[in-house]
Amino acid sequence: MRAAAAARPRLLQAVIDAFRQPDVRQKILFTLSLLVVFRFTANLPVPGIDAGQLRAIFESNAVLGFLNIFSGNALRNMSVAAMGVYPYVTASIIMQLLVPIVPSLQALTKEGEQGRRQIQLYTHWLTVPMAIVQGYGQLVLIERLGGINDIGLSGGSLLPTLSMVAAMTAGTMFLVWLGELISENGIGNGISLLIFAGIVAGIPQFLADEVYGQTAVTGIVMVLVFIVVIVAAIVFVQEAQRRVPVQYSRSLFRGGRMYRQSGQTHIPLRVNSAGMIPLIFAFSIVIFPAYVASVFETSDTQWVANFSGKIKDIFDPSAWGYWAFVFILVTIFTFFYTLVIFQQQNLAENLQRQGGFIPGIRPGRPTAEYIMRVLIRITWAGALFLGVIAVVPFFAAGITGQQSLNLGSKSLGLGITSSGLIIVVGVVLDTMRQLEAQLLMRQYEGFIR
């Protein structure tokens, strides 16, 4: 029995060990069952939708293809989960940016678990109006492109429009609830797992429609090589970190005598501590002008239609200027988001309070300045990496001849874009760490080196 276990791969043996433990097995099955519920929800359409018209416009519009990338075809089906959890993600990002600006929110972060729960409640409240606005905007865009009819806030269009927006908003909040159930009772971060499931769910459709039906064997092999190289690079950079040494020294008085305690550890500063957030920021900004232009392109006013057409051409994803702009934005947002998160953590202040110090650096402000210098240096590598990852599909599409790697005239190729790969790899690594932690608590050997 032990010999057979030793011969198995570590990851496979870890899965077997996990299912042998009743509580870990229950967490895994609970997570999988809620992901199945999510996929059923993603195929439940809102009322008044013509599937044939929707399919036609999604095949010819790159903007809608981008909006559909993380929804697992939910937007393409115009389901109640068409927006996914992205209104919640946007609300979370906004709250993170507001914390260092608003004093009351900053005070809540210092109140521990109670303060965190209050900020989470504010995030939920902010998600609802953002879901309403985003849902109505998507309906208007799809109506202008001929996918649905009678969208408006007056006359006979009012009630059908309100019912669609209400259904889509309720679908988003339902998915947020599912994600929090997974986080509390399952394995991994629930919201991230739902995004991961949406991306992975589109891979079979991609393989069937784009690779098997249209691409030669050489193109398929080159696409697979591209994916392997990108995944390896993402894992390498995501796991890379600079370890800043920290020493702890405290004096304790017991029974009238002084005792000194000391220890040594490190602060792990990640090369890419911003994750995929800069990509979401950058693509949201870059796609917004094209999104608005698509709405007004069919205007009856000639100059408005012409101006919208020029804007859409300028932000055409098949042009190199578009991707150069994306690269610059991703680099800028990586620094911006990393510095915002760093300021919220108050590392130097927490170290001084706990009796810790960096060897050779005075506590307090000099420590904060030293950590900031180190963070900026290593963030250059993370920012340039994310910028390259963002624009790689443009060059890979030209090399492989597979237009689905790009935001070209056809679909986006779900699960194959580098942004999707970053999310997939990040979620897998995070879930593996949590599973390993569950096994190590029960004295099983870990599987991540």
Q: What is the pLDDT of residue 252?
A: 57
Angle CA 12–18–23, to nearest 5 = 165
Q: What is the pLDDT of residue 10?
A: 64
Most confident of 45-59, 73-87, 241-255, 293-307: 73-87
The CA distance from 82 to 321, in Å, is 30
Three-state secondary-structure class, residue 268: strand
* Mean pLDDT in residue range 212-226: 65
* Mean pLDDT in residue range 208-215: 56
Question: 8 is written with which tokens?
Answer: 């198995």
Domain covering 1-201+425-449: architecture: Orthogonal Bundle (1.10)
The CA distance from 277 to 152, in Å, is 33
Q: What is the pLDDT of residue 70?
A: 56
pLDDT(416) > 60 = no
Q: How distant, in Å, are the alpha carbons of 112, 180, 195, 397, 412 from that of 202?
A: 39, 23, 11, 19, 10
Q: Where in the chain is the domain with CATH 1.10.3370.10?
A: 1-201+425-449, 213-416
> Residue 201 contacts by C-beta under 8 Å, 6 or more apart in sequence?
39, 42, 72, 73, 414
* Mean pLDDT in residue range 311-332: 79
Q: What is the pLDDT of residue 216?
A: 55
> Residue 126 contacts by C-beta under 8 Å, 6 or more apart in sequence?
91, 94, 95
295 vs 368, residue with greater confidence: 368
pLDDT digits (tens, 9 = 90+) for 233-255: 888 888 888 888 888 766 555 66
365 vs 227, residue with greater confidence: 365
Tokens 């259904």 sit on residue: 167
> Residue 339 contacts by C-beta under 8 Å, 6 or more apart in sequence?
375
Q: Identify which of 122, 50, 35 has the alpha carbon closest to the alpha carbon of residue 81.
A: 35
The CA distance from 195 to 180, in Å, is 13
* Mean pLDDT in residue range 429-448: 70
Q: What is the pLDDT of residue 366?
A: 85
Cβ pair 356, 347 in contact under 8 A? no
Q: How distant, in Å, are the alpha carbons of 48, 215, 223, 297, 322 from that of 402?
A: 35, 7, 8, 28, 19
Cβ pair 128, 169 in contact under 8 A? yes
The CA distance from 293 to 392, in Å, is 26
For 65-74, 157-166, 345-354, 391-400, which range has the lowest pLDDT when averaged over its residues?
A: 65-74
> Residue 80 contacts by C-beta under 8 Å, 6 or more apart in sequence?
41, 44, 45, 46, 167, 168, 170, 171, 174
pLDDT(33) > 90 = yes
The CA distance from 436 to 438, in Å, is 5
pLDDT(61) > 70 = no
Q: What is the pLDDT of residue 178?
A: 92
pLDDT digits (tens, 9 = 90+) for 99-109: 878 888 888 87
Percent of the chain with pLDDT over 70: 75
Q: What is the pLDDT of residue 349?
A: 79
Q: What is the pLDDT of residue 17?
A: 73
Q: What is the pLDDT of residue 380?
A: 92
Match domain 213-416 to its CATH number in 1.20.1290.10, 1.10.3370.10, 3.40.30.10, 2.60.40.420: 1.10.3370.10
Cβ pair 423, 199 in contact under 8 A? yes
Considering the entire predicted model, what is its pTM?
A: 0.75
382 vs 216, residue with greater confidence: 382
* Mean pLDDT in residue range 117-130: 90
Q: What is the pLDDT of residue 446?
A: 54
- Which class for 157: exposed (0-12), middle (13-18), buried (19 or more C-beta within 10 A)? middle
pLDDT(307) > 50 = yes
pLDDT(226) > 70 = yes
pLDDT(449) > 70 = no
pLDDT(379) > 80 = yes
pLDDT(411) > 70 = no
Most confident of 9-13, 107-111, 367-371, 398-402: 367-371
Cβ pair 377, 329 in contact under 8 A? no
* pLDDT confidence tier of residue 207, bands split at 50, 70 and 90: low
